[in-house]
């Protein structure tokens, strides 16, 4: 069986390093190289069993290579143009995209296969399915979302919390731009039934915790997902890579993976 050529963007970061480590142990992959920002001290050097670090994607990407990207939105948008030109494929785990950047990602997926997920954990994506079902079931309950991450995280709320809010709004036919409240301060007035509060905590080295609270009269139902290490994200990203390797041009997400590889197996 032909190996999957893998190029990892942000290769010297926490997620990038872990991806290299796990991919080298998996016989389905050949780690072709890694990408880092210009002037990074590792440029031109080798890490982890001969994986060389480059400062530009153009130097190594070829047709059907799969790029796994855990960087920043601006870098991801640049990588997309190169992937499109070279007819590669890309798995995106970067978070914090603006609406216009999401549209750009979807535009590129018309030409090449693109996989985007704010959270690569298989467990958290099954958690999304549970939230979808719970929201259908608990029609008369108020809903609040809480997320907790380490103090290094740059964006808030997390991409996962935004995804949870999107799922809830889709199930209740709500306009997400009108009903979200990000924390509360001052005299806010009584809570509207359809209002959804998102609360972000940044503390210590917590990898990621997400909770959804359904409140009724005299009771609260809490559904939570807690992640204790980053390996779940890296393993999920590699599973997404194998999934995307079988696909033609188009836009894919963990929801597609869950439906095809988990639920319908």
Cβ contact 36:255 at 8 Å: no
40 is catalytic: no
Q: For residue 82, count other CB atoms closer than 10 A to its CB.
A: 15
Catalytic option among 149, 162, 199, 210: 149
Whether the bond into 157 is cis, omega within 30 of 0: yes
Q: Please identify which residue in the block is written with the tokens 């979807």.
A: 106
Catalytic option among 52, 86, 153, 249: 153
149 is catalytic: yes
Output the six-digit token pair for 190.
């009584």
- Would you name the residues annotated as active-site residues? 149, 153
């Amino acid at each position: 069986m032909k190996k999957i050529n893998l190029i990892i963007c942000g290769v010297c970061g926490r997620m990038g390093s872990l991806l290299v480590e796990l991919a080298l142990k998996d016989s389905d992959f050949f780690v072709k190289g890694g990408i880092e920002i210009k002037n990074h001290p590792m440029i031109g050097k080798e890490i982890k069993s001969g994986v060389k670090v480059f400062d530009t994607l153009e130097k190594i990407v070829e047709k059907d290579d799969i790029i796994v990207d855990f960087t920043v939105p601006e870098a991801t948008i640049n990588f997309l143009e190169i992937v499109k030109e070279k007819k590669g494929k890309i798995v995106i785990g970067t978070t914090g995209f603006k609406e216009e950047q999401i549209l750009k990602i979807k535009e590129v997926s018309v030409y090449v296969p693109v996989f985007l997920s704010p959270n690569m954990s298989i467990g958290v994506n099954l958690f999304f399915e549970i939230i979808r079902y719970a929201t259908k079931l608990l029609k008369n309950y108020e809903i609040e979302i809480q997320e907790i991450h380490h103090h290094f995280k740059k964006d808030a709320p997390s991409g996962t919390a935004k995804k949870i809010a999107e799922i809830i709004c889709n199930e209740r036919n709500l306009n997400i731009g009108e009903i979200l409240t990000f924390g509360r301060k001052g005299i806010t007035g009584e809570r509207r039934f359809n209002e959804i509060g998102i609360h972000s905590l940044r503390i210590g080295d917590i990898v990621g915790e997400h909770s959804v609270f359904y409140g009724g009269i005299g009771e609260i139902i809490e559904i939570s997902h807690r992640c204790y290490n980053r390996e779940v994200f890296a393993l999920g990203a590699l599973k997404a890579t194998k999934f995307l390797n079988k696909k033609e041009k188009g836009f894919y997400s963990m929801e597609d993976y869950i439906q095809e590889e988990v639920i319908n197996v």
